[in-house]
Structure 1
């Protein structure tokens, strides 16, 4: 009786385990896939399907999910590595890859580990590109190096089912001795630019000063020229005014001579002036010679009066 009970218990346990396995497998056959995720399903060891986002039911004991691929963009750190530039200077370079899975099937079956493969290919490509550049160019051509790595990874990624969006170089570290030499070179270039800037400033200052002096001299000469012109115009105006007054006086005298009694009036005026001039001559230590015939007024006026008038004018 006890033997029968043990057999029944054993059978019950076996059937219980089988039932539990079936239940577990049924639950495992139900898959809910989230967004930007893909499941690779194999049936009896052969690729069957790629499950996208949503609710899916697999065939128990036959279908197996062998891989889960995340389709979101991810970053992969490329560890530092030693590279030699064209001028045989050792530098240490590291970077980061931004990539995503574009084909889950190829990412599963095309390469064992696409992350490790991409990292290794990025390192070898970086070494190759830096080997074609001088040390100074490696700092200037970061974009070119990054683009070369991206192009190489994308060509290989077509078979790996991945797409590389960009590659960024984080650090390029030359040896300490080279860093010191580069710093000294930078300081020398900076001092050189400062000296050139100072010389250029002094040059501009001298040019500005000379231009200011030249403009000052030009202004002074223009002012002197204008002053002389004004003085000449003033003298010319004075001469014209005197000439105009003299012409008017002569015209008046001529008009007086043609009038009745005008000639006698002129002679009388000249006689008065003659007598006045003789009085003035008497006050001076001057010798005067008169004509012999003082009764001839016309001759006397002609000889003395008119000459005195010329001297007085």
Structure 2
């Protein structure tokens, strides 16, 4: 009898524990539990402790791809799904392998559970379909260089399609785009040729700029040289003018001083002219390349006198001792003697050597 009572007590205690376990639900932060009462939607339990009717209210379990089977807690945080490498055909009929990551967040747990049977699986298939549709409108070059455009279009398409599932797609990131091996080799050759072309263009542009710079430098240098020559000629002309003015002033002063020294005895201009005349004769006589000797009128007269005296002496000697065999020598005649009429200042005469 006592053993039966102990068994009854243990059964009651276990039953009470089971009822308490079924009645009390503690939901973690940022998670919710959907409660069904006799198979019908009854409500959503948010984070914190809750008491439900045991054996009448039960949490709804979900079976989503990539999540534990029979999961009853629905996470409201942002989640991601890693999509494996998938073949995609571009607009120019090139098959490339694309893998991506999609970030999504549940905004309405009721729709996420009751509007779609497999939420994560539906998101994966929708992403693959949208990716083939978006990248099929682009050629290979646009696909490789326009990842931001692909991500934006995918997010827009996915966000519009998953809105009725109570899910918001926050980001879609295309990680890798792998073209075939032969296409990759061709692209590398094309890239090498393009870089060589850019290098040649840059080199030609640099040579062009260098030639322009050199031409501008030469032009500036020529302008500077011309300006310097012009300034030098101006300064030389100014210096020559100043020298002539100074020389004229000095001559004027010398004429004035000679006139003061002579008083009324003579003309100072004749004095200065004769001085210049004598200096010119001195310079011509000292020149090593002179072929003509300029002589004054007085020197020509002196030579004529010398010739006359020689002729007289020769005639006297002939009268004293005649010699029929030898003719009498003739006096030398100057090459040319010019006797001025009577100038105020006699001009020079010249006798060839």
Place the TM-score, normalised by the shorter chain, in its bin. Answer: 0.7 to 0.9
Matched, 1:128 2:129: no
Give the deviation of 1:270 after TM superposition: 6.8
CA distance in 1, matches of 2:111, 2:11: 38
* Residue in 1 that maps onto 2:195: 190
Q: Distance in 1 between matches of 2:44 and 2:178?
A: 44
Partner of 1:24: 18
User: Which deviates more, 148-157 or 75-84?
Assistant: 148-157
Q: 1:116 aligns with which of 114, 121, 128?
A: 121
* Aligned residue in 1 for 2:264: 263
Aligned-partner Cα distance in 2 for 1:217–1:60 = 106
* Equivalent residues of 2:22, 2:55 under 8 A apart: no
Give the deviation of 1:157 after TM superposition.
2.0
Aligned residues: 284
Distance 1:268 1:120 in 2: 128
What is the match of residue 297 of structure 2?
Answer: 287
On the 8 A contact 2:36/2:57 being kept in 1, the answer is: yes
Deviation at 1:13, TM superposition (A): 5.2
2:92–2:139 Cα contact (<8 Å) kept: yes
Answer whether contact 2:24 2:51 (CA < 8 A) is retained: yes
Label 1:197 to 1:40 Cα distance change in 2 as closer, same or farther (>3 A).
same
Alignment partner of 1:55 is 2:65: no
- Look up the match of 1:311: none
Q: Show the counterpart of 1:34.
A: 28
Do 1:42 and 1:48's aligned partners in 2 also have CA atoms closer than 8 Å?
yes
CA contact (8 A) 2:297 2:346 kept: no
Q: 1:142, 1:169 within 8 Å by CA — same for their partners in 2?
A: yes
- Please say if residues 274 and 304 of structure 1, whose CA atoms lie closer than 8 Å, have aligned partners that are also in contact: no
* Structure 2 residue runs without a partner (length 5+): 61-71, 286-293, 302-341, 348-353
What is the 5 A alignment of 1:59-74? 59-66=53-60, 67-74=72-79
Q: 2:37 aligns with which of 43, 48, 57?
A: 43
Structure 1 residue 128 displacement after superposition: 0.3
CA distance in 2, matches of 1:307, 1:57: 154
Partner of 2:322: none
Q: How does 1:177-216 map to 2 (within 5 A)?
A: 177-216=182-221
SS of aligned partner of 1:50: strand
For residues 168 and 274 of structure 2, what CA distance do their matches in structure 1 show?
Answer: 130
More helix by share: 1
Checking the alignment, whether the CA contact within 8 Å between 1:38 and 1:68 is kept in structure 2 is yes
> How far 1:14 moved relative to its partner?
7.3
- Cα distance change, pair 153–45 in 1 and its aligned pair in 2 (3 A): same
- Structure 1: 4+ residue segments shifted above 6 A: 267-271
Instruction: Show the counterpart of 1:101.
Output: 106
Equivalent position to 1:79, from 52, 75, 84: 84
- Indicate if the aligned counterparts of 2:112 and 2:119 stay in contact, CA closer than 8 A: yes
The TM-score, its normalising length taken from structure 1, stands at 0.78
Distance 2:139 2:32 in 1: 45
1:108/1:14 Cα in 2 relative to 1: closer, same or farther (>3 Å)?
farther
Alpha-carbon contact 2:258-2:268 (below 8 Å) kept: no
Q: Could you say what secondary structure the match of 1:263 adopts?
A: coil
* Residues 239, 285 of structure 1: alpha-carbon distance in 2 compared, 3 angstrom cutoff: closer
SS in 1 for 2:35: strand
Q: Is the alpha carbon distance of 1:270 and 1:104 closer, same or farther for their aligned partners in structure 2, counting shifts above 3 Å?
A: closer
Task: Determine helix, strand or coil for the equivalent of 1:105.
Answer: helix
Per-residue deviation, residues 121-166 of structure 1 (Å, max 9, x unmatched): 0100000011111110011221222122212222222221111110
Deviation at 1:212, TM superposition (A): 2.8
